[in-house]
Amino acid sequence: MGTKYWQEFLIPYHQAVDEIVLKFTSLKEQYEKIGEYSPIESVYGRVKSVASILEKIHNYGVDIESLEETIQDIAGIRIMCQFEDDIYEVVELIRKRSNCDMEVVKVKDYLSEAKASGYKSYHLIIRYPVFCVSGNQSILVEIQIRTLAMNFWSIIEHSLNYKYKENIPEAIKTRLINAANAVNDVDREMSSIREEIQSAQRLFGLKSSLVTSI
């Protein structure tokens, strides 16, 4: 299977990621336009690299025929929120679209129970229809929803995992668990002054829009 095969195989995944990022970014902008707080802080999307797909195929002995159903995060969306409660609001926004464009097929709740590594996030696997030149297709997309603080921890732990090839030394693992606990504290503290933060942000937003309208 050469470059051309993978390029074509990934077309619907790129299409889905581009569309979904646009949809959530647009939702965030709509909240801003109507002067309401957006539970979505930022949105990011990526298509898994061919090297990572091949690594998963090799590590998990994935059958190439069932690749699309077995590797469920070829298309990945990450939504960042300011507060932990916002995560559940975003989950609801997605669930409400089930008769429209996104059908939730699996939930992985690493919020109520973090992974042993300390990882916290809420994952949804959705089925999403795409219309490409090759025809209609329905593909799986993984949506990860987490706070900014959880994301900070996650990207650092991910790079350490990459460096140590999934064998992070025990001393660093312990530090990471400590850091994950500190992240929980940050999220809890920020939630406890949520009203205060939001009113400051409203004032700040008002000031910025006055400056840009001059």
Check 142, 166, 170, 189 and give the catalytic one. Answer: 142
- How many CB atoms are closer than 10 A to CB 79? 29
Q: How many residues bind ligand 0O2 (CB under 6 A)?
A: 10
Verify binding: residue 108, ligand 0O2, rule CB under 6 A. Answer: yes
Residue nearest to ligand 0O2 (CB): 119
Residues 25-64 that bind ligand 0O2 (CB under 6 A): 48
CB of 12 vs ligand 0O2, minimal distance in Å? 18
Residue selected from 115, 163, 188, 202 as contacting ligand 0O2 according to rule CB under 6 A: 115
CB of 159 vs ligand 0O2, minimal distance in Å? 9
Q: Mask: binding to ligand 0O2, 141-180, rule CB under 6 A, as x and -?
A: -------------x--xx----------------------
CB of 50 vs ligand 0O2, minimal distance in Å? 13
CB of 123 vs ligand 0O2, minimal distance in Å? 5
Produce one character per residue of 102-131: b if its CB has 16 or more CB atoms within 10 Å, e if not.
Answer: bbeeeeeebbeebeebbbbbbbbbbebebe
Verify binding: residue 120, ligand 0O2, rule CB under 6 A. Answer: no
Can you tell me the distance from the alpha carbon of 205 to that of 203, in angstroms, rounded to the nearest whole number? 5
Can you tell me the distance from the alpha carbon of 154 to that of 145, in angstroms, rounded to the nearest whole number? 12
C-beta of 38 vs 154, nearer to ligand 0O2 = 154
Can you tell me the distance from the alpha carbon of 171 to that of 63, in angstroms, rounded to the nearest whole number? 37
Contacts of 125 (CB under 8 A, 6+ apart): 72, 104, 105, 106, 107, 108, 140, 141, 142, 143
| Residue 142 falls in the annotated catalytic set | yes
C-beta of 47 vs 102, nearer to ligand 0O2 = 47
- Residues of the shown chain interacting with ligand 0O2 in the complex, contacts defined by CB under 6 A: 48, 73, 108, 115, 117, 119, 123, 154, 157-158
Active site residues: 142
